[in-house]
Amino acid sequence: MNIAEMRTLVRRDLRDDDPAAQRWTDDELDRHVQHAVHDLARPPPTSPSPPSPPSPAAVRWR
């Protein structure tokens, strides 16, 4: 799918597909689509490693 096809789908979702009354320019939509593609292409954040279990000396018995 290319940027023009994505833009068409976004316009349809935004109900902005009447050429005579478009609220957003192609450049505006292209910029936002490109930002979204960039954000989705980034790898997910890594999970922090689980904490180490406490040492036996640090464990308090009740």
Which residues of the chain, if any, have pLDDT below 50? none
Using CA atoms, how far apart are residues 21 and 50, in angstroms rounded to an integer?
Answer: 54
pLDDT tens-place string over residues 15-28: 998 989 999 999 99
In terms of C-beta density within 10 A (0-12 exposed, 13-18 middle, 19 or more buried), how is residue 32 classed? middle
In this predicted structure, what is the pLDDT of residue 46? 80
Task: Look at the pTM and tell me if it is higher than 0.85.
Answer: no
In this predicted structure, what is the pLDDT of residue 29? 96
Boundaries of every domain in the chain: 3-14+24-40
Using CA atoms, how far apart are residues 13 and 20, in angstroms rounded to an integer?
Answer: 17
Using CA atoms, how far apart are residues 40 and 37, in angstroms rounded to an integer?
Answer: 5
Using CA atoms, how far apart are residues 26 and 57, in angstroms rounded to an integer?
Answer: 65
